Amino acid sequence: MGNSTKEKLEYLKHAAHSLRMDVVEMFHASGKGHIGGSLSIVEIMTALYFHILRVDPENPKWPDRDRLVLSKGHASATWYAALSAKGFFPKDLLFTDYMKIDGKLQEHSDMNKVPGVEMSSGALGQGLSVGLGMCLAGRLAKRDYRVYVILGDGELQEGQAWEAFMAAGHYHANTLTALIDYNKLQVCSTVSQIMELEPLAQKIEAFRWNVVEIDGNNMEEVVSALERARDNTTEQPTAIICNTVKGKGISFIENNVQWHSHAFSEEDYQKARKELVGMEEKRGRG
């Protein structure tokens, strides 16, 4: 690995830590929200915004921009943190507006209020269909932008998601990349207990997708998979199955279904913040 690559990875790891800290501060300020699934996608969102996506904060509607759809819309805190860090809007909005009445940064994003947001979210299972539509629209307009869709594993229990997988393979939507946050927990139990997805990779491959499976909280693996998807020369779309840890980075939240959506007490907040600060200090010494 060259020095420039190592430096880039260190930069991205530091950026991911900053996003995690921002997400924790947002949930503390709002007093509510879906923190588990927000923390599990931090590395994915960081790699997208600070390495992969072709976007311009000064021109959010640039026709040739890459598109990102957050299909698991309740994890918007991480998206907002990334958009703010990228320069789409001032950082103070993260702590004044997130999940506040009349605030711009609602838990489910509003594309008419937040620059950089491509799709208003709400009902799960719709994002991949929207992303495919964006890809096909780009093909008709002869534009070369790419589309990335972040899906939750629980929402893959929705039939519409599989219709979109089937259609994307049929239409050879090779500018489409689906990133599945496979943290294996949903609102009240494990995904396997509610509705088993396995064998997940083989199912998606059967719909004529390129499939790669990675550790979704390992920055090097995330970057490598996204670069491969971006440089895809086949006729098929790419799915990246990201094996993640729900609540990644905070010990008492990790893999704890009770933290799917849960408010911080002051003690929780102080403990979480202390753990994240300690983790970054340890990484810096390493």
> Are β-strands 210-215 and 67-70 bridged in parallel, bridged antiparallel, or unpaired?
unpaired
Residue 2: what pLDDT?
61
Query: Hey, what domains does the chain have and what are their CATH numbers?
Result: 3-285 (3.40.50.970)
pLDDT (average), residues 261-269: 91
- Indicate the pLDDT class of residue 201, thresholds 50, 70 and 90: very high
- Indicate the pLDDT class of residue 257, thresholds 50, 70 and 90: very high
* Percent of the chain residues topping a pLDDT of 90: 90
Residue 279: what pLDDT?
80
Q: What are phi and psi of 12, to 5 degrees?
A: -65, -40
pLDDT beyond 70 at 51: yes
Residue 285: what pLDDT?
64
Other CB atoms within 10 Å distance of the CB of residue 152: 28
Average pLDDT of the chain, as a whole number? 95
pLDDT beyond 80 at 276: yes
3-state secondary structure of 252: coil
What whole-number distance in Å separates Cα of residue 214 and Cα of residue 16? 17
Name the strand (E) or helix (H) holding 238: strand 238-243
Q: In the 8-state DSSP scheme, what is residue 66?
A: -
Residues 6+ apart with CB under 8 A from 145: 54, 64, 65, 66, 67, 138, 175
Residue 60: what pLDDT?
97
With tokens 């998807």, the residue in question is 229
Residue 237: what pLDDT?
98
